Amino acid sequence: MPFIDLQGKLGINIDKWMLIQGGEQPCKRAPRCHAFEKEWIECADGIGQTRAKKECKLEFEDFYECMHREKTHKRLYEIRKQRDKMVKEGTYQTPPHHTGAQADDRP
């Protein structure tokens, strides 16, 4: 129920622990998009949904991208497609470190 903090009054935590990625984690391991989520929540807290959608657009987009990586995958796919096209045309030779010939990859 809104405005009645029942769980706080009873001192229990039935489902508040699972609301955000950055809740308490076992072994204290941070989730992958912790920084983005933190930024977004700090930006959007307490200003209401309508304002938050306008003002925190960049943080939200970063958080979404971190979680789903749609732009990253699209970019990678474009590069790979172009590379395969060029290899088929014959205008591009894959360098030796990308052909899998070098088994040793030590830094």
Partner 1 sequence: MGAIESIYLSLSSRCCHARSRTSYDVTLRSVLEKGWKMAASKVKQDMPPPGGYGPVDYKRNLPKRGLSGYSMLAIGVGVMCFGYWRLFKWNRERRRLQIEELEARIALLPLLQAEQDRRQLRMLRENLEEEAVVMKDVPGWKVGENVFHTDRWVAPLTEELFNLRPREELLHKRFGFLWYV
Q: Which residues bind partner 1 (CB under 8 A)?
A: 32, 35, 39, 58, 61-62, 65-66, 69, 71-73, 75-76, 78-80, 82-83, 86, 92, 94-95, 97-100, 105-107
Contact 8/28 with Cβ under 8 angstroms? no
**Which structure tokens are listed for 22?**
């950055």
Q: Residue 53 CB, nearest distance to partner 1 (Å)?
A: 16
Contact 20/34 with Cβ under 8 angstroms? no
Q: Residue 87 CB, nearest distance to partner 1 (Å)?
A: 10
Q: How far apart are CA 44 and CA 22, in angstroms?
A: 15
Residue number, 15 or 105, with CB nearest to partner 1: 105
